[in-house]
A and B are shown apart, each in its own frame.
Chain A
């Protein structure tokens, strides 16, 4: 297992590099092999891997456990924590446990409502929200205190992240929200996946104006599209997603491998654009259940090899 040290992900960003992260969903079962397989696909092509926390309110292997499996492979995990299932006591407890096991990065989220998941009959928790969690982790790290003010015997020096959505309405309020998350404790931000570049650029411009890009590392989200149907689905059925007509059109009329090719092309064009935007410090690739595409994408984008600490 990797020995305790600082977050490698943080070091790359602090040194001025353009970081690359990806996402990995734990299995719906106790089989560690599945996580190992996903890990092997991602190893070496990204700087850190986000591990989701019962994503879409469906029971999966815990984020904490899956992060540990990735650590064993020599991969740096970002442990996602949602406030839906655990109260402040359990969340703080897991942060201490995670840090003690070598986990150095946290992403704080509210989480999808359980009514949308596999066990809608469960009650939810939502004792605190994602901003309260950001704040709590920051205080634990910088002041060595838990939420009750108790002095911890050892402060977890976590690199703290939050999600942001430049594509939800209203645009101006989205920047206010970003500022709030940074003030609460966010060191890095991973955004919703970008297809609408003009809109994203506008959000970045407003963020720069507020001085926010000086205070936080912004990683733009990327999800390569596989087909026109996928693009349509995301455009209409997924909350807070902005997929312009032009993108859908490019994918209509091509199927199978040709559609995958086009999807990859769009992603590469987007990445190239993103790298020119001041304040964008990296990309976060969300290739849900398509981890094998990540290395292909990162390589074609000219982002290999990744820095080795």
Chain B
């Protein structure tokens, strides 16, 4: 899923300062799963913002609504009346959702309420970790299912580097050395010979480095 984290109250307040009537729009998919922007978070944030402004003597009018997915126009359409009633929309969707909203609502002020961070998994309750950076050319078969592009801080194709210490990355003791994980996993799979293979320089064209990407499925164009 896409993982995001709500922006600090102070930062959101600053963005909302010019507006009296705000729609807080949640998304029921990725950001709901990581507790950043689902219905519950919309309700909590609404109350928090009313309190935060209220204690300054300012009463902001908030409307709360959550749609299934903000990245799909069919669902965004449901928000049309609510958007019309308000001066600005504080979207708790990921960056894609906010931009989908911008595509449909050309004259609406759209404010991002969360910081979109990564594509990740729920490693254990409450802990989300980054797994995939969308390089566009997956080589997980070579690396035993562990991605060196994303999980190695230096994106090494022929790792590890000299900074790996006790299975941890030099950047932080919270980060596992991806190459240690790869070595361990390939060994467990009996594929340690993969480690002898020289992996050539990666072609970054299929990644964001090559420019923002598009996927056109002709078979689905009607």
Direct contact of A and B (CB under 8 A): yes
Counting chain A CB atoms within 10 Å of each CB, which of B160, B162, B196 scores highest? B162
Stretch of B13-21, B41-49, B103-111, B198-206 lying at the A interface: B198-206
Does B156 lie at the interface of the complex (its beta carbon under 8 Å from any beta carbon of A)?
Answer: yes
Q: Interface size (A, Cβ < 8 Å)? A: 33
Does A126 lie at the interface of the complex (its beta carbon under 8 Å from any beta carbon of B)?
Answer: yes
Q: Are A239 and B165 closer than 8 Å at their CB atoms?
A: yes
Does A7 lie at the interface of the complex (its beta carbon under 8 Å from any beta carbon of B)?
Answer: no
Shortest beta-carbon distance from B107 to chain A in Å: 34
Residue-wise interface mask of A (221-249) relative to B, using a CB-CB cutoff of 8 A (1 in contact, 0 not): 00000000000000000011000000000
10 contacts between A and B (CB under 8 A): A88-B201, A110-B162, A113-B171, A126-B154, A126-B156, A128-B201, A131-B198, A168-B162, A179-B196, A184-B198
Which residue of chain B has its CB nearest to the CB of A120? B171
* In the complex, chain B residues whose CB is within 8 Å of the CB of A84: 154
- Assuming the A-B contacts A135-B198, A240-B163, A240-B164, are A116 and B157 also in contact, with contact meaning beta carbons closer than 8 angstroms in the complex? no
On A, residues with C-beta under 8 Å from B are 83-84, 88, 110-113, 115-116, 124, 126-132, 135-136, 147, 163, 165, 168, 170, 173, 176, 179-180, 183-184, 192, 239-240
Which residue of chain B has its CB nearest to the CB of A181? B158
Q: Are B200 and A135 closer than 8 Å at their CB atoms?
A: yes
Shortest beta-carbon distance from A210 to chain B in Å: 11
Which residue of chain B has its CB nearest to the CB of A125? B155
Q: Are A132 and B200 closer than 8 Å at their CB atoms?
A: yes
The 9 closest A-B pairs by CB, nearest first: A132-B201, A131-B158, A239-B165, A128-B201, A129-B156, A126-B155, A110-B161, A239-B163, A165-B162
* In the complex, chain B residues whose CB is within 8 Å of the CB of A130: 156, 158, 161
* In the complex, chain A residues whose CB is within 8 Å of the CB of B204: 127
